[in-house]
Amino acid sequence: MENAPQTAAEHRFRYYDLVMAAFVTILLLSNLIGASKPSYVTLPGIGEWSFGAGVLFFPVSYIIGDVLTEVYGYARARRVIWTGFAALLFMAFMAWVVVHLPPAAGWPGQEAYEFVFGNSWRIVFASMIAFWAGEFANSYVLAKMKVWTEGRHLWMRTIGSTVIGQGLDSLIFYPLAFWGLAGWPVELLWQVVLSQWAIKTAWEALLTPVTYAVVGTLKRAEGIDLFDTETDFSPFASTRD
């Protein structure tokens, strides 16, 4: 395998676009399913423990984000994060438009439609900010750790970056979206924050063998292994790399 730290500007990637499409698809579906529904599990000795139902879906986007940074480097992951951010913004705008279109006479589903798709500006804003901050933190930490570890211990990099990225995501989203709202007492809010963080990190750890398999397959297929030794890590740097 060719080892080319940051010298792959002309390299033709075979599967980068497909990985980007998978990332954006998972991201949109996880938000469409809705992170605003709290569910619960019953834990022995503890009782009901609440968590956001979207946690079952959303962590897959972080795993794909890890694959993007590990295989294609921070600069290309940055492009994908901005693409996902734009897709979320467009989805939120179109949901607002469709919800506010007058329903046809006699159609009984408007109230249910508004309940499912009519997220408040708070939820939309919180989701966008949390996604942006969490994904960039995740990608930055993983890229830096890859350089520090000289490409060893992938499991340490993926789990470590998830602890930071998912922690930041949960810490930003739930307080911004639901603080002070009826049905979201402070105790429930922080319980969901901690649950989201723990479950997302556990998902990452559980799927580590899958991450190893996907990363290894893509590196062999692409014929390159990137190290971000000279990368501009600003989220606002050029995404044309």
Q: Which amino acid is residue 27, in one-letter code?
A: L
pLDDT surpasses 80 at 195: yes
The verdict on residue 231 lying in a domain is no
Euclidean distance between CA atoms 128 and 125, whole angstroms? 5
CA 215 to CA 212: how far, in whole Å?
5
- pLDDT of residue 10 exceeding 80: no
Asked whether residue 117 is domain-assigned, the answer is yes
Gap between the Cα atoms of 61 and 234, Å rounded: 21
Domain extent, residue 156, equals 16-34+44-222
Angle at 58 between CA 110 and CA 85, to 5 degrees: 75
In the chain, % helix, strand, coil (3-state, to 5) comes to: 65, 5, 30
pLDDT in tens, 153-186: 999 999 999 999 989 998 998 898 888 877 788 8
Say whether pLDDT at 214 is over 80: yes
pLDDT bin (cut points 50, 70, 90) of residue 4 is very low
Establish if 232 belongs to a structural domain.
Answer: no
* Number of folded domains that form the chain: 1
Q: What confidence score (pLDDT) does residue 2 get?
A: 45
Report CA 133 to chain centroid distance, whole Å. 10
Which position has the token pair 């890859």? Answer: 146
pLDDT of the residue at 103? 92
Assess if residue 240 is contained within a domain. no
- Averaged pLDDT of the chain: 85
Q: What percent of the chain has pLDDT over 90?
A: 46
Ramachandran assignment for 93, one of left (phi > 0), alpha (psi -120 to 50 degrees), beta (any other): alpha
- Is residue 92 assigned to a domain? yes
- N-to-C CA span, the chain: 21
pTM of structure: 0.85
User: CATH code at 196?
Assistant: 1.10.1760
